[in-house]
């Protein structure tokens, strides 16, 4: 009997504490906490790993899965060794649920090195919440070749976590 009393008191205390954390404020419908933390997804693709001074096209695809994403933004961030030849590095607009948008940019590398190109997309939901995602491409560019992946600068055949040339 005594154990039952303590168990009931513990449950009651838990419910009281749980109730204290519940707010009566109006909430905005947001994606469930199950699955990805944001409905926005970003995919950055490069048609091939270019050699030095060789033009190559980047394609950035952004999608809001299951939810509209008004006033969203996306951008491609180039490292110091790359320059824009033509196209767009930024996009702004309204994402419709499950309908991807794409923008492209043609770039070329003007310096040899180990580089990271990053694409970022986000939508400010309110002052406390932002939906977003990012994708990156890592590559090595030389006069003779271009190659995807992370590389150890001391042993270029070995993958490693290196971002940009010095």
SS3 call for 61 = strand
Per-residue pLDDT of the chain in tens (166 residues, 90 and over written 9): 545 444 445 554 544 444 444 444 444 444 544 445 799 999 999 999 999 999 999 999 999 999 999 999 999 999 999 999 999 999 999 999 999 999 999 999 999 999 999 999 999 999 999 999 999 999 999 999 999 987 665 655 544 444 444 4
Nearest by Cα to 73 from 126, 36, 120: 120
- Specify burial of residue 112 (Cβ count, 10 A radius: 0-12, 13-18, 19+): middle
Name residues whose C-beta falls within 8 Å of residue 9's C-beta, 6 or more positions apart in sequence: none
Domains annotated on the chain, with CATH = 37-166 (2.60.40.10)
pTM: 0.71
């Amino acid at each position: 009997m005594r154990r039952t009393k303590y168990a009931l008191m513990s449950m009651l205390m838990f419910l009281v504490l749980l109730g204290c954390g519940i707010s009566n404020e109006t909430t905005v419908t947001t994606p469930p906490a199950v699955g990805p933390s944001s409905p926005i997804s970003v995919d950055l693709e490069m048609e091939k790993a270019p050699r030095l001074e060789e033009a190559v096209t980047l394609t950035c695809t952004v999608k809001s899965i299951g939810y509209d994403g008004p006033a969203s933004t996306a951008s491609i961030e180039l490292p110091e060794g790359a320059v824009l030849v033509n196209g767009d590095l930024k996009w702004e607009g309204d994402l419709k649920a499950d309908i991807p948008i794409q923008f492209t940019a043609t770039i070329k590398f003007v310096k040899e090195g180990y580089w990271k190109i990053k694409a970022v997309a986000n939508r400010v939901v309110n002052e406390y919440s932002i939906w977003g995602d990012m994708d990156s491409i890592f590559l090595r560019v030389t006069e003779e070749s271009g190659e995807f992946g992370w590389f150890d600068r001391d042993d270029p055949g070995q993958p490693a976590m290196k971002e940009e040339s010095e």
